[in-house]
Amino acid sequence: MTRLAGRALRVTILVGESDIWHHRPLYSEIVHRAHEAGLAGASVFRGIEGFGASSLIHTSRLLSLSDDLPIAVVVVDTEERIREFLPQLDALVTEGLVILDDCEVIRYAGRERRT
């Protein structure tokens, strides 16, 4: 089990819901690669509205249904481990935004695994 406390680095990857990597949703590929890299954790959040570099507004409102809503993938670990993971993101994210933030981990606890 990965342990994490104190100073950490958070990387937030903003992409579109319809972004694909080899027949798989890009956000799923990012999460699985973060898991394979042994990073402390990753979560995916689906946005209800947003726009990016293309200036097209994507929204979940009924009158303007979008199949490309904003997706945020958030990964937290030590600075060293996140920076080691960045080359993978560079290869995966051809459109979108990758943000790094310093953060402090107050609590990091997992569930007991059932046998």
Q: Kindly calculate the radius of gyration of the chain based on its CA atoms and give it in whole angstroms.
A: 15
Question: What does DSSP say about strands 20-21 and 24-25: parallel, antiparallel, or unpaired?
Answer: antiparallel
Q: What pLDDT does 57 receive?
A: 67
The pLDDT of residue 65 is above 70: no
Task: Round the average pLDDT of the chain to a whole number and report it.
Answer: 87
* Tokens 């569930």, located at residue: 111
- Whole-number pLDDT of residue 15: 95
Task: Tell me: pLDDT of 21 over 70.
Answer: yes
**pLDDT (mean) for 37-54:** 87
For the chain, percent of residues with pLDDT exceeding 90: 64
Q: How confident is the model at residue 111 (pLDDT cuts 50, 70, 90)?
A: confident
In this prediction, residues 40-63 reach a mean pLDDT of 77
Q: Does residue 1 surpass a pLDDT of 60?
A: no
The model's pTM is 0.83
Q: Which domains does the chain have, with CATH numbers?
A: 7-105 (3.30.70.120)
The residue type found at 97 is L
